């Protein structure tokens, strides 16, 4: 039996000059989640967007807003992103010394709390936080720029996280971000991924309805 999964296209690769049109096209194509990459130029070397853009976009669509904060000290901005319309907020374990407190802060703002990990960060850093985590985001590239190739050892990390979640009896989604495309989708899902983030591999192949079907077809090849 095929495992259920979610595609969360990364808006980092969309045409920001026509963002409302892009959001409508995604929703009409059957996409349910969208991934917002928020970068501050400090935690990662790029700068992208903030709460005002998310707030304006929230008024235009019913899509699930999967907001990934690649910023230093995210606790300073949790309330702003939640009020802007984030349904889920991912914060990096590497970005704050008070990760448990930040997860609680997200939950108090009625958003789903998630932890993001850079490729080199070991799973042991988040083991005790799994019970209060809705999702763990495993970066399969070094964060900061789109279009990078999938780091091979990430597949083992996905398997290890899946096993850890089962051992703990936790109910936690696994998200994978970086180098995800139709060539590795089935293997990612087979090894435990639930939510797949895809940027250029999705947006550079319109129309979106057809591209979503291509992803679904690739996912169906799970062995």
Active site residues: 37, 177
Query: How many other CB atoms are found less than 10 A from the CB of residue 99?
Result: 21
- The two three-digit tokens of residue 57, written as one number: 């976009």
**DSSP characters for the chain?**
-PPP-EEEEBGGGS-GGGHHHHHHHHHHHT--EEEEEEEBSSSSS-B---HHHHHHHHTT---EEEEEEESSSGGGTHHHHHHHT-SEEEEEGGG-S-HHHHHHHHHHTTSEEEEEE-TTS-GGGTGGGGGG-SEEEEESS-TT-SSPPPPTTHHHHHHHHHHHHHHHT---EEEEESS--TTTHHHHHHTT--EEEESHHHHTS--HHHHHHHHHHHHTT--
Which residue, 63, 14, 18, 7, is CA-closest to 200? 14
- Alpha-carbon dihedral of residues 178, 24, 71, 43, nearest 10 degrees? 40
């Amino acid at each position: 039996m095929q495992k259920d999964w979610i595609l969360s296209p990364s808006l980092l690769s969309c045409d920001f000059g026509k963002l409302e049109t892009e959001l409508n096209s995604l929703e009409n194509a059957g996409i349910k989640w969208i991934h917002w990459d928020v970068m501050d130029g400090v935690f990662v070397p790029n700068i992208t967007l903030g709460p005002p853009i998310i707030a304006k976009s929230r008024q235009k669509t019913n899509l699930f807003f999967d907001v990934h904060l690649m910023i230093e000290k995210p606790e300073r901005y949790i309330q702003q992103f939640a009020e802007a319309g984030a349904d889920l907020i991912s914060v990096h374990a590497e970005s704050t010394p008070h990760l448990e407190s930040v997860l609680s802060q997200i939950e108090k703002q009625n958003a789903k709390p998630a932890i993001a990990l850079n490729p080199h960060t070991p799973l042991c850093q988040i083991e005790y936080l799994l019970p209060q985590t809705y999702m763990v985001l495993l970066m399969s590239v070094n964060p900061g720029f789109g279009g990078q190739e999938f780091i091979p050892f990430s597949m083992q990390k996905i398997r290890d996280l899946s096993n850890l979640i089962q051992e703990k009896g936790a109910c936690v989604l696994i998200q994978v971000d970086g180098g995800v495309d139709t060539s590795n989708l089935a293997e990612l899902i087979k090894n435990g991924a639930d939510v797949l983030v895809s940027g250029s591999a999705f947006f550079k192949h319109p129309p979106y309805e057809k591209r979503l079907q291509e992803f679904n077809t690739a996912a169906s090849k799970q062995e």
